[in-house]
Structure 1
Amino acid sequence: MKRRNFLRAAVVGAGVTAFGNRLSGAALAAPAQNGPSPYGALQAADANGIQLPAGFTSRVIARSGQQVASTGYTWHSAPDGGAVFADGSGWIYVSNSEITPGGGASAVKFDASGNITGAHRILANTRQNCAGGKTPWNTWLSCEEIDLGFVYECQPNGPATAAVQRPAMGKFKHEAAAADPVRKVVYLTEDTSDGCFYRFVPTTWGNLSAGTLQVLKAGTATSGSFTWANVPDPDGSPTATRNQVSGAKRFNGGEGLHYANDTAWFTTKGDNRVWQLNLTNNTYELAYDDSLVSPGSAPLTGVDNVTGTSSGDLYVAEDGGNMEICIITPNDIVAPFLRINGQSSSEICGPAFTPAGNRLYFSSQRGTSGSSSGGITYEVTGPFRA
């Protein structure tokens, strides 16, 4: 268990005993605060306009509307959520396309040395594919960020025709997904100002064709305990899924989602928060709130996609702001990890690490042009913490 989880589990566990599972804010750890990055200060921008800590380098691996390396495959517009999958001695980076019509997702293949060896489409003819998530059985869940949107399960190696719609996971404005192999469920965020947080309980783990959609129930406070309740009609029509269960907790614009070590972290863009669910104790709290940061101004605004590393660090990408990916350490320190210059009309999407943890992929959705046709997908290599 990472230090963040250990410390918070200990505090939360004590709070449950003392308060009969009704936690006060004072019983919980404080949200992350400003501090020095474990990687040091950002250096001057490189040739790609990216400021990185010393020892790190960047390269462009794909541009919307252009051929990916020498693969013959044209990269999609508006690259968004992404994930990395092991592929023999190499790996595959999968990326959504947040456009309508068209949408879908594409993939880039790399060999063991990081050379690009191929690129292909894995999902086609869908709508506004924003974020998603990786499953333990190595498929990509691509989520439609539209009213009554679907989740599609895709094969990283393609082809697009192998993708399968998963209506049992609910029809709503999907954003991100994260699988929990311990409880054998998939968590889901909803990108609307009065959205909810869900979990899908498959009838058979590893098969998402059937199961039960549940919604998180809790009070209005920023910390406390929670329960789950079945959503009567996952089809979401005529009554939206978020409005079917009394007491369902509302979150202001659910975005990125990451699971590790019995904990789920997710972001809400409407209030610039990172939430933490302790899934062992069924408690929740704030891991970050830009209005509670001190000293100085908040380094992380426009919270969006999130990923994590084996060291326990969270990497949170900004939608706008000053175009940074910020790190939140297990010691609850928040600091910039990288900054993209000259792209203020864009957003950072799809951060994901290779299995070895030494390369980070992400996209600038609209690049320097400010248009969905100007997306740029990057790789950063360097001495990431193990």
Structure 2
Amino acid sequence: MQRRHFLRAAVLGAGTSVAFGFSVTRQAIAFPALPGPSPYGDLLAADANGIRLPDGFTSRVLARATETVTGTGHTWHSAPDGGACFADGDGWIYVSNSEVPLTGGASALKFNGAAEITDAYPILSGTTQNCSGGATPWNTWLSCEETDRGAVHETDPWGGRAAVRHPAMGLFKHEAAAVDPDRKVVYLTEDESDGCFYRFVPTTWEDMSAGTLQVLTEDGSGLAWADVPDPAATTARTREQVAAAKHFDGGEGAYYRAGTCYFTTKGDNRVWAYDAERDALAVAYDDDIPDPPLTGVDNITGTAAGDLYVAEDGGNMEICLITPDDVVAPFLRVEGQDGSELCGVAFSPAGDRLYFSSQRGTSGVSSGGITYEVTGPFRG
């Protein structure tokens, strides 16, 4: 059996007697994604910002690290990383983490209905290496510290309320968070070569201050969730506390949609699909193919049309999309910034603007980070 067909049929830990955990869905038949033509066509020559885009799309620079955001008094943070958008009347807010050690934190850009920046301000400070995170349905941003025994901090995108540290969500090398409102849990990835995939079950929904941290496990009977005995990691690292825990090679971005949590692992360049309804796990994309278009998988987001957008940490500095038909293709490429990584992918509430950052820009250092916006005819 060819490897592609095997992967399409595999249920990773959910019982091999079933052809696939999502047996009645189109995704069950098509995984994993393979290279093909982009729905937006080929990339054109680089624009004035050094970004190659499909026809009909344009880019603009919104903010540069260590420089004042135009029209505001706020200095944009270095090493911009994970981000998300929040509706604000007829405008919106884009929040962005800072992965700088010791100072970390997060900031926000506020837009009016004409897409003009009207304000910029900090929403989190006094933390360290804030990498990715996740937006909540109750309009807060979960900012995650990517450091040993790092924490999740819940922040207010409007900057009106002080951020709150949530140690109950576990102290480990956090990467991303994806909220599942259907099961009322939050999925968490861990950026370690033997990291785990977790979920936090709050005692009271929308209150992350108390609850149970669980880790995904795998044994002969399939996948299950087990409580982590010591989420504060005072006795042992969280990933070492449950013998049957399933380990992943460098957890990165996470995105939840319609019963499935998609997450990426950088060590093996995979995009995973966890079917929360059936406790089934599949490989949605694997770069073990000739001339893979997507390498260095990192932050991930999605659109109402069903497309997934995955940013590269390294690779050839692309943001690639994976279509509902399981075709993977480049959406954009940043030229002249090989010492950087792309991150912070997020769409405006209307879905017509894509935000992302180049963490180290053209200089290759964190103080050279650049945050961009791409506008164009995105699929609805």
What is the rounded CA distance, in whole Å, between the counterparts of 2:228 and 2:78 in structure 1? 34
**Aligned residue number for residue 163 of structure 1:** 163
Match for 1:210: what amino acid? A
**Aligned residue number for residue 249 of structure 2:** 252
**Aligned residue number for residue 332 of structure 1:** 326
Aligned residues: 368
- From 298, 301, 308, the equivalent of 2:302 is 308
Secondary structure of 1:320's aligned partner:
coil
Deviations 1:9-67 (A, max 9, x none): x9899x989826997x9x86431101000000000100000000000000000000101
Secondary structure of 1:265's aligned partner:
strand
Mark the CA change 1:149 to 1:18 in structure 2 (over 3 Å): closer, same or farther. Answer: closer
What is the rounded CA distance, in whole Å, between the counterparts of 1:61 and 1:364 in structure 2? 12
What is the rounded CA distance, in whole Å, between the counterparts of 1:69 and 1:131 in structure 2? 25
Do the aligned partners of 1:21 and 1:225 also contact (CA within 8 Å) in 2?
Answer: no
Secondary structure of 1:373's aligned partner:
helix
The reply on whether 1:362 has 2:356 as its aligned counterpart is yes
What is the rounded CA distance, in whole Å, between the counterparts of 2:345 and 2:20 in structure 1? 35
Runs of 4+ in 1 over 3 A off after TM superposition: 10-13, 15-18, 20-23, 27-30
Q: Determine what percentage of the aligned residue pairs are the same residue.
A: 66
What is the rounded CA distance, in whole Å, between the counterparts of 2:38 and 2:29 in structure 1? 24
Secondary structure of 2:195's aligned partner:
coil
Secondary structure of 2:367's aligned partner:
helix
Mark the CA change 1:204 to 1:104 in structure 2 (over 3 Å): closer, same or farther. Answer: same
Deviations 1:257-306 (A, max 9, x none): 00000000000000100000111111001000000x3xx40000000000
Q: Which stretches in structure 2 are left out of the alignment for 5+ residues?
A: 1-7
Match for 1:31: what amino acid? P
**Aligned residue number for residue 50 of structure 1:** 51
Deviations 1:133-164 (A, max 9, x none): 001100000000000000000000115x6100
Mark the CA change 1:41 to 1:219 in structure 2 (over 3 Å): closer, same or farther. Answer: farther
Q: CA deviation at 1:119?
A: 0.2
**Aligned residue number for residue 317 of structure 1:** 311
**Aligned residue number for residue 154 of structure 2:** 153
**Superposed CA RMSD:** 2.2
Secondary structure of 1:351's aligned partner:
strand
**Aligned residue number for residue 243 of structure 1:** 240
Q: CA deviation at 1:218?
A: 1.8
Q: Which stretches in structure 1 are left out of the alignment for 5+ residues?
A: 1-9
Deviations 1:67-100 (A, max 9, x none): 1111011000000000000111100000000011
Do the aligned partners of 1:32 and 1:332 also contact (CA within 8 Å) in 2?
Answer: yes
Do the aligned partners of 1:231 and 1:241 also contact (CA within 8 Å) in 2?
Answer: yes
What is the rounded CA distance, in whole Å, between the counterparts of 1:74 and 1:377 in structure 2? 13
The reply on whether 1:272 has 2:269 as its aligned counterpart is yes
Mark the CA change 1:324 to 1:22 in structure 2 (over 3 Å): closer, same or farther. Answer: closer
Mark the CA change 1:50 to 1:357 in structure 2 (over 3 Å): closer, same or farther. Answer: same
**Aligned residue number for residue 125 of structure 1:** 126
**Aligned residue number for residue 5 of structure 2:** none
What is the rounded CA distance, in whole Å, between the counterparts of 1:313 and 1:217 in structure 2? 29
**Normalization by structure 1: what TM-score?**
0.92
**Aligned residue number for residue 91 of structure 2:** 90
Match for 2:169: what amino acid? M
Match for 1:64: what amino acid? A
Q: CA deviation at 1:196?
A: 0.1
What is the rounded CA distance, in whole Å, between the counterparts of 1:319 and 1:122 in structure 2? 25
What is the rounded CA distance, in whole Å, between the counterparts of 2:377 and 2:311 in structure 1? 19
